[in-house]
Structure 1
Amino acid sequence: MRKEMERFKQQLSEQGKLQGREAVLIAFDHLLDLLDEHEEKHRLEIGARSTNGEKSKGEVESAIRAETEFFRNAVHTVIDRTVADLVHRGDKEWKKFYDRIE
């Protein structure tokens, strides 16, 4: 997903639509960092429990993985749509995803 962030940044920069909107990409980057930190914390927790001889429940682990994947996909969708709105800003025929993209 980080590669896509760089691609979005490049795309906006090439079209001259990045200026003044760098904060949006920084905020998305911070959100991705938070997701990564959450996953790492969970892995460390599971590792510590495993070291103590505790077994994790497969159902719980599956639910946590599914939830994390859902949020990662949701973040990706929001980033993709926001950047698309920024790229197509001013196009009369573009149907915006979000109304408040400036």
Structure 2
Amino acid sequence: MRQRLEEFKARLIEEGRLAGHEDVLLAFDHLLDEVDTHEQEHLVNNAKYGIAGYKVDRGAEDTFREEMSWMRQAAYRVIERTVADLINKGNKHWENFYDKVD
């Protein structure tokens, strides 16, 4: 999934819009790191509960997986729209996804 961040970076470089916006990509990379860490901690906790003899609620697990997937997809949608706004900055015919993207 991190490959998409590299693709966004390449698009910004190609359009000559990366300068001064590297921190945007870094922030999204950090966000995805946090999602991965949260998911890993969840797995470790479930393993601990399993060792202690507790049963894991499959419905809750499915919901957790769906929420983590949604979070990753939402992050990629936001960065994709932000990159598009950065690339089209100054284009009077472009309808921005977000205000105040500089």
TM-score, scaled to structure 2: 0.94
1:48 aligns with 2:48: yes
Q: Which segments of 5 or more consecutive residues in structure 2 lack a partner in the other structure?
A: none
In the TM superposition, what is the alpha-carbon distance from 1:17 to its structure 2 partner? 0.3
| Sequence identity percentage | 44
How many positions carry a matched residue from both structures? 102
Q: Which segments of 5 or more consecutive residues in structure 1 lack a partner in the other structure?
A: none
Deviations 1:42-85 (A, max 9, x none): 11111111122221011111121121122111111101110111
TM superposition outliers: structure 1 runs of 4+ over 3 Å: none
Q: Quick one: distance in 1 between partners of 2:11 and 2:70?
A: 26
Q: What letter is aligned with 1:6?
A: E
Q: Quick one: distance in 2 between partners of 1:39 and 1:89?
A: 36
Q: Quick one: distance in 2 between partners of 1:39 and 1:86?
A: 31
Q: What letter is aligned with 1:8?
A: F
TM-score, scaled to structure 1: 0.94
RMSD: 1.0
In the TM superposition, what is the alpha-carbon distance from 1:19 to its structure 2 partner? 0.3
Q: Quick one: distance in 1 between partners of 2:77 and 2:15?
A: 21
